Amino acid sequence: MAQMTMIQAITDAMRTELKNNEDVLVFGEDVGQNGGVFRATEGLQKEFGEDRVFDTPLAESGIGGLAAGLSVTGFRPVMEIQFFGFVFETFDAIAAQMARMRYRSGGVYHSPVTIRAPFGGGVKTPELHADSLEGLMAQTPGLKVVIPSNPYDAKGLLISAIRDNDPVVYLEHMKLYRSFRDEVPEEEYTVELGKADVKREGKDITIITYGAMVHSSLKAAEELEKDGIDAEVIDLRTISPLDIETIIESVEKTNRAIVVQEAQKQAGIAAHVVAEINDRAILSLEAPVLRVTSPDTVFPFSAAEDVWLPSYKDIVEKSKQVINF
């Protein structure tokens, strides 16, 4: 075991798969000699050569197209989008091409591409660097969407993503990159895609969340405990497909739930989770399932981030609202 930050765990996962499979290629803007703007690919070009870890010209659409093309010739591209807000430049390659590869070829071709990108608020980046755009991805049939909340999961999930035979969007919350360390095995292991993790067991209410909000939710759970409320916290880890069993099992136990996301409210992952609960467990509910989200504005430039992002206090308040319904 080693103590690793999330970014080190991510590098380690890529190193593991570059070693394991020579068809794995890592590329994007500044990922080579510079090791990525966050150093996620630090040392990989040195270790595996320019042939397998390389810089591309500055064009996300080109990067996505390259990955899609390589994927049908037997490679497993791990492409980096420098910040996820630039996904719009390559939305076609991801959502309209890779995600539809099986459909368009009647199942003959598939696109085992991993799309890695940093995102997430609270680190004062310029516009379109921090936006939570995972909902757009989750609404696209044919894509898996993964968001780790800690170093251990980050490594295991990324290895699974690279080994997956279909495109996986793997989003890395910037605030978690270096904020804490975890025990991470040096050897290879996987965390299964599509499996949530119960981070804290409780009996009064289920808080369903993912990414950086896992930490705010755990903090909220501690606060709630002071008031005698025993909250269960579920880290979805994969937001598409959802681990519906874990969600429903928990809600049937606690009979109350809130869903917490950093993204804006409308048409998001939280809305989808609420709908699934309504479909499957409405008779177990003692109260409506509420959401904690950001407001439905554009993700603001850095100066307003702090007031805009949901905080643990919002989670406490919303939980009490559900409890006292």
Q: Which residues bind other proteins (CB under 8 A)?
A: 29-30, 32-35, 37, 55, 57-59, 61-62, 85-86, 88-89, 124-129, 265-266, 295-298, 300-305, 307-308
**Closest CB to other proteins among residues 186, 296:** 296
Q: Which two tokens stand for residue 188?
A: 């290879």
User: Angle at Cα 310 formed by Cα 261 and Cα 145, nearest 5°?
Assistant: 20
R_g of the chain computed on alpha carbons = 19
**Closest CB to ligand TPP among residues 88, 109:** 88
Nearest residue relative to ligand TPP (C-beta): 86
Least distance between ligand TPP and beta carbon 268 (Å): 24
Least distance between other proteins and beta carbon 100 (Å): 20
Residue 230: C-alpha distances to residues 199, 249, 253, 254, 308 (Å): 13, 16, 12, 9, 27
- Given other proteins, ligand TPP, none, residue 298, with its beta carbon under 5 to 8 Å by kind, binds other proteins
Q: How far apart are CA 300 and CA 306, in angstroms?
A: 10
Least distance between other proteins and beta carbon 264 (Å): 9
Q: How far apart are CA 166 and CA 102, in angstroms?
A: 9
Q: Other C-beta atoms within 10 Å of 143: how many?
A: 22
Q: Which residues are catalytic?
A: 129
**Closest CB to ligand TPP among residues 28, 310:** 28
Out of 29, 80, 131, 232, point to the residue binding ligand TPP (CB under 6 A): 29
Binding track, positions 83-122, relative to ligand TPP; x by CB under 6 A: ---x--x---------------------------------
3-state secondary structure of 55: strand
Q: How far apart are CA 166 and CA 76, in angstroms?
A: 10
- Given other proteins, ligand TPP, none, residue 127, with its beta carbon under 5 to 8 Å by kind, binds other proteins
Out of 1, 2, 58, 275, point to the residue binding ligand TPP (CB under 6 A): 58
Number of residues lying near ligand TPP (CB under 6 A)? 6
The one-letter amino acid at 108: V
Q: Other C-beta atoms within 10 Å of 181: how many?
A: 15
Q: Tell me the backbone φ, ψ of residue 85, rounded to 5 degrees.
A: -60, -15
- 11 close to 47: Cβ distance less than 8 angstroms: no
Least distance between ligand TPP and beta carbon 86 (Å): 4
User: Angle at Cα 260 formed by Cα 267 and Cα 179, nearest 5°?
Assistant: 120
Least distance between other proteins and beta carbon 307 (Å): 6
**82 binds ligand TPP per the rule CB under 6 A:** yes
* Residues at the contact surface with ligand TPP, assessed by CB under 6 A: 29, 58, 60, 82, 86, 89
